[in-house]
Structure 1
């Protein structure tokens, strides 16, 4: 999928940045956003077609600015998320204010941005929404109740949006474990060097864009066959 305009949230590092780089290599116009302005500009400097727009997706005014900056829109990628406290607390001790922050960034902000983007996505003719999922959305891991609840809610929003907007493609994409700063925060002090770099996972998502299967939830691990990606409702392994 080339000659497209995309918005990628959380694009200053990790998977969001790796995806932005790949889309830029395909000559896409990418509105890349992240909260850390210096990091975002440094990470995207020199990438052709990338417009760095720092800001917080929880801010209604910034969400509107993102849509104005895009002008037209073919792809909306909800990559920004919030892990919550580290080390990960059990539900018994989970600070409710922290959970509100996780849900605000992981569920409410993506929905609000999608609401603003829908007219442009419908007009695209090939509008696509991608939400970043996790196996914590479908598996019960101690300590992952807050983050997993947000991802489970986002999965359901994506599924309902797909039914309500049949002309669009809506994918909940589970990348699996990756070597990212967020994943390191989930496992403080542990060696996560055995996890793949985000750039190694991006090709699986690009297959969704290229082949445009039916809307649904897809795991990167199941997308090795570019011709026949399959949906899944369950995952295994440690949280992504």
Structure 2
């Protein structure tokens, strides 16, 4: 850990941060928050399918990143595919991480899936496709990046799983979404048990003003109070800065 970080613990250190689903919504807001919370010389890797939206975000961050010497890279990859996962891991491997004292991986990319009753899910391929993106992809990506940037003395590692209340609570007609979120929660709890040198956090940001919530409203007709994405992003960044959470635990935006 650098002397500067030891003198100023209210930063994430000289960090290489990887955020999936970074082009919009919560991922975009979190990229903005993290960029203000790392030390000069840090690297922010933003991953999403839309290269155009990533480039727009990079340009939005440019004046700040130039002032603070933050390197921002866009990784255009479709994490629903094996190639997208492999390309992302390869891009991470190319970064010079030897000078970094913190690796932060935020598994944010996910999808809503079909909101329908249990008995309607007879299409094996449809179920597998959803679980492949929402569970298998996050597992393979995390494992790949851990191998690309292995733990070593002086390197802090943090993995964030962007979770949901539905990881813990069953909801009728939400079988795919609940199943995927619950599986991811357990998957990252296992990582926390296996790797005591890695801090693992499952974070539920609450209902946010995103395209996913607009789709939920269209499908269900249920209106909810929605949070601006910046608020849960700021809360997660504070949790990471405090670094007082127990590894493997679940934290909700509405918790104190």
Answer whether TM exceeds 0.5 for this pair. yes
- 1:196 is paired with a residue whose SS is coil
Task: Write the distance in 2 (CA, Å) between the matches of 1:42 and 1:133.
Answer: 26
1:92 equivalent among 106, 119, 128: 119
2:43 equivalent among 16, 29, 44: 29
In the TM superposition, residue 166 of structure 1 has moved relative to its aligned partner by 0.4
CA contact (8 A) 1:177 1:196 kept: yes
CA contact (8 A) 1:75 1:121 kept: no
1:205 equivalent among 211, 228, 236: 236
Gaps of 5+ in 2: 1-11, 66-70
1:4 equivalent among 4, 15, 22: 15
Matched, 1:40 2:76: no
What CA deviation, in whole Å up to 9, does each residue of 1:192-220 have, x standing for no partner?
A: 57300111111221122112121111112
Matched, 1:125 2:155: yes
1:214 equivalent among 242, 246, 249: 246
In the TM superposition, residue 44 of structure 1 has moved relative to its aligned partner by 2.8
TM, length-normalised to structure 2: 0.80
2:105 equivalent among 76, 80, 102: 76
CA-atom RMSD, angstroms?
2.0
CA contact (8 A) 2:207 2:226 kept: yes
Matched, 1:18 2:50: no
Which shifted more, 203-212 or 167-176? 203-212
Task: Write the distance in 1 (CA, Å) between the matches of 2:22 and 2:124.
Answer: 27
**Larger-gyration structure (1/2):** 2
Task: Write the distance in 2 (CA, Å) between the matches of 1:69 and 1:45.
Answer: 22
2:142 equivalent among 105, 114, 117: 114
Distance 1:71 1:153, change over 3 A: farther
CA contact (8 A) 1:84 1:99 kept: no
Task: Write the distance in 2 (CA, Å) between the matches of 1:193 and 1:13.
Answer: 20
In the TM superposition, residue 37 of structure 1 has moved relative to its aligned partner by 1.6
In the TM superposition, residue 160 of structure 1 has moved relative to its aligned partner by 0.6
Task: Write the distance in 1 (CA, Å) between the matches of 2:212 and 2:180.
Answer: 15
Task: Write the distance in 1 (CA, Å) between the matches of 2:204 and 2:246.
Answer: 16
TM, length-normalised to structure 1: 0.85
- 2:151 is paired with a residue whose SS is helix
In the TM superposition, residue 191 of structure 1 has moved relative to its aligned partner by 7.5
Distance 1:211 1:46, change over 3 A: same
Distance 1:121 1:78, change over 3 A: farther
Task: Write the distance in 2 (CA, Å) between the matches of 1:12 and 1:113.
Answer: 18
Task: Write the distance in 2 (CA, Å) between the matches of 1:90 and 1:191.
Answer: 17
Matched positions, count: 221
Gaps of 5+ in 1: 225-240
Task: Write the distance in 2 (CA, Å) between the matches of 1:96 and 1:29.
Answer: 40
